[in-house]
Amino acid sequence: MDIRIALIGFGEAGSTFAKAAGWEAGALAYDVQPARRVVMEEAGVIACATADCALGDADLALSLVTADSAFDAARDFAGLLRPGALFCDMNSVSPETKRAAARAVEAAGARYVDVAVLAPVNPARMNVPLLVAGAAADDAAQALLAAGFANVRVVGAEVGRASAIKMIRSVMVKGIEALTAEMILAANAAGVAEDVLASLDASERSQSWFERAAYNIERMATHGIRRAAEMEESAKTLADLGVEPMMTSGTVRRQRAQAGHPIETPAKPAARTEGTVA
C-alpha cells in the first residue's frame, strides 16, 4: 500500500476496516480510550498513544469517532495534519457540523472530505457504500479505493452534500426502528404482540416481522446511544432546511430509551392460523 493511513477512533468501524483491508503497519491508529490499543494490536496496525503519532505523516486520515465528538476531533487535531493531507470525516453528523469541521481542517492547511457511510460496517466491511463530497472529493475517492474500499461514489464538490443524503435517509432508517419499538411496547402491554406481528406478516412478506422486530430492537439495545447522537444531527439537518423534526426528535428519545431499557420480543410461534387478514 503506497498511502499512509491514520485512524482516529478505533471502535467497531475502525477495527472492522483495518482487519478487512489488512492495512497492518501501513496504518496508525489512535483512540481516546487507551484500552483500545489492545484491539489495534490484534488488528496489526500501529497503536499510537497520541493523535500526533497517528496523524503526523498520514496521507489519508479517517475520522471514525462518535457523532458528538466529530467536530472536536476535527478542530483539535487539524493542526497535527501535514499540508495537503486528506481528512475524511466519516462520522454521522449534520451538514452544518461538517462544514464547521471543514473550516477548521482547511484553515490548518489540510484537505477536508465529507464522507457518508450508508450501511452498517458489518457485514459489508470494505464493500460498505461510501458517499464522498468536497473540493478534494475526487482525490479522496481515489485514495479510499487504493486503501481497499470497493464502493465509493463522489456526490459533489460541496461539503455537507454527502452528509445531507445520510442524515435525511436516517430519518427513515432509524425512524422505522423507533416506531417498531413503540409498537412492540404497546403490543406487549396489551398482550397482542403475536397477533400484531402476524397481521403485519400477512400484509408484507418480504421479511417476517418477527425477524424484523427482533432485529430492530436488538440494534437499538446495542447501539441506541450512538444512534441517538446521530439522530440529533438528523434533527439539526431538518431544522436547517426549515422542516420541524417532530418524528425525528421522538426517534432520538426512543433510541436512547431502548439502549437503557431493552425489551423482549415474542418468540415466533410454532404454528399459526393461515389466512390472517391485514
The SS3 call for residue 91 is coil
Among the ranges given (25-34, 47-56, 205-214, 232-241), the one the predictor scored with the smallest mean pLDDT:
205-214
Provide mean pLDDT across the span 81-102. 97
Q: What is the pLDDT of residue 207?
A: 74
Q: What is the pLDDT of residue 264?
A: 52
> Which among 125, 121, 133 is positioned nearest to 22, based on CA atoms?
125
pTM: 0.79
Distances from the Cα of 112 to the Cαs of 51, 105, 109, 131, 139, in angstroms? Answer: 17, 6, 9, 14, 11
CA dihedral for 191, 194, 197, 203, sign (positive or negative):
negative
d(CA 14, CA 37): 12
Pairing of strands 60-63, 5-8: parallel
Residue 271 in this model has a pLDDT that exceeds 90: no
Q: Which residues pair with residue 89 across a beta bridge?
A: 63, 114
Q: What is the pLDDT of residue 205?
A: 64
Mean per-residue pLDDT over the chain, rounded: 90
d(CA 60, CA 8): 11
The SS3 call for residue 31 is coil
Residue that has been written with the C-alpha cell 441517538 in this structure:
228
Greater pLDDT, 64 or 263: 64
Residue 170 in this model has a pLDDT that exceeds 60: yes
**Whether the Cβ atoms of residue 184 and residue 265 lie closer than 8 Å to each other:** yes
